């Protein structure tokens, strides 16, 4: 039966076993990849965007016709552009010029007003640091104040993690036939990890959770930040605390460098036919690390966060 709108096809994405990659590396265990790059906006952030806006409408914090503003690396902005457009809310996406140009063009095509913020002096083009993100946040706050807008606030709004608790977790559990022993996720806002691990533990309290960060920017693990300008877009912002991690435990921290994320994303495409982005490469690289170590023989779930199509202008596919 046909859906009434694209809102109704957010979530419910398929999952696939990455058995070829695991076998080729002589590892014991399985990796379940949740293909969230098959959402309408080509990323997992569609779920959070829908969760935030629907919850804000329900509790009255978002008024009819009010403008919605949010900072984004591109994926949340794309999700919000779709959700806000279909629900009748003007949307302004505020993004660093350090993110790939495909993202800005896609948001604009979906009806968003896109405000691009210059990177700070000394920043590396194509690599968004925590300081760059702070500048984007400053601009977003100015726009919210000037327009009397609603701030979607993906780093704090409960609708983000709730969407993953209510949809991503039960889907992964069902797709794995209840066999998942661990979940690993590259940390951006922390909403995917926080919501998904809580939802999986509601099914089985023994499921272990691992946070993935860029090498040299593992602030959540308590390490010194030496490389804030890593190439893995969409996360690793060197934030030592994230709201969505406060009420869930972390069983371990993993780091992946840019080269490993890149080569794993490339291998994922060639070996499994999964065309994911940088953070998808980071997640799968982390899952392979786990099968070679503490999760040997287990079943590690990861999310394929977004599409490789969003990185054609970057060095991901060089």
Catalytic residue positions, numbered: 45, 279
The answer to whether the beta carbons of residues 314 and 98 sit under 8 Å apart is no
Beta pairing partners, 302: 33
The answer to whether the beta carbons of residues 36 and 304 sit under 8 Å apart is yes
Residue 200 — φ and ψ, nearest 5°? -70, -40
The answer to whether the beta carbons of residues 303 and 185 sit under 8 Å apart is yes
The answer to whether the beta carbons of residues 26 and 11 sit under 8 Å apart is no
Give 56's contacts (C-beta < 8 A, 6+ positions apart): 62, 150, 152, 157, 159
DSSP class per residue in 53-104: HHHHHHHTSS-TT--EEEEESSHHHHHHHHHHHHHT--EEEEEETTS-HHHH
Rg (CA), the chain: 18
Whole-number Å distance between alpha carbons of 32 and 169:
12
């Amino acid at each position: 039966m046909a859906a009434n709108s694209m809102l109704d096809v957010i979530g419910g994405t398929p999952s696939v076993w990455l058995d070829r990659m695991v076998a080729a590396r002589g590892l014991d265990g399985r990796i379940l990849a949740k293909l969230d790059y098959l959402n309408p906006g080509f990323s997992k952030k569609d779920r959070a965007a829908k969760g935030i806006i629907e919850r804000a409408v329900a509790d009255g914090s978002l008024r009819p016709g009010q403008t919605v503003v949010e900072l984004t690396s591109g994926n949340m902005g794309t999700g919000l552009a779709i959700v806000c457009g279909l629900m009748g809310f003007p949307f302004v996406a505020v993004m660093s010029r350090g993110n790939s140009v495909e993202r800005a063009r896609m948001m604009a095509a979906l009806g968003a007003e896109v405000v691009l913020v210059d990177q700070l002096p000394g920043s590396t083009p194509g690599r968004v640091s925590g300081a760059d993100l702070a500048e984007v946040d400053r601009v977003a706050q100015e726009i919210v104040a000037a327009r009397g807008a609603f701030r979607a606030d993906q780093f704090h709004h409960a609708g983000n993690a709730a969407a993953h608790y209510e949809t991503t977790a039960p889907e992964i559990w069902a797709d794995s036939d209840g066999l998942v022993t661990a979940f690993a996720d590259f940390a951006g806002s922390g909403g995917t990890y926080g919501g998904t691990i809580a939802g999986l533990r509601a099914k089985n309290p023994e499921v272990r959770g691992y946070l993935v960060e860029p090498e040299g920017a593992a602030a959540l693990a308590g390490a010194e930040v030496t490389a804030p300008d890593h190439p893995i877009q969409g996360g690793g912002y060197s934030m030592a605390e994230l709201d969505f991690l406060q009420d869930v435990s972390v069983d371990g921290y993993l780091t992946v460098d840019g080269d490993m994320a890149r080569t794993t994303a490339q291998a994922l495409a060639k070996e499994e036919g999964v065309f994911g982005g940088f953070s998808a490469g980071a997640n799968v690289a982390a899952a392979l690390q786990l099968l070679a170590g503490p999760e040997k023989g287990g079943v590690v779930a990861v999310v394929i966060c977004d599409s490789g199509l969003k990185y054609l202008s970057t060095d991901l596919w060089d």
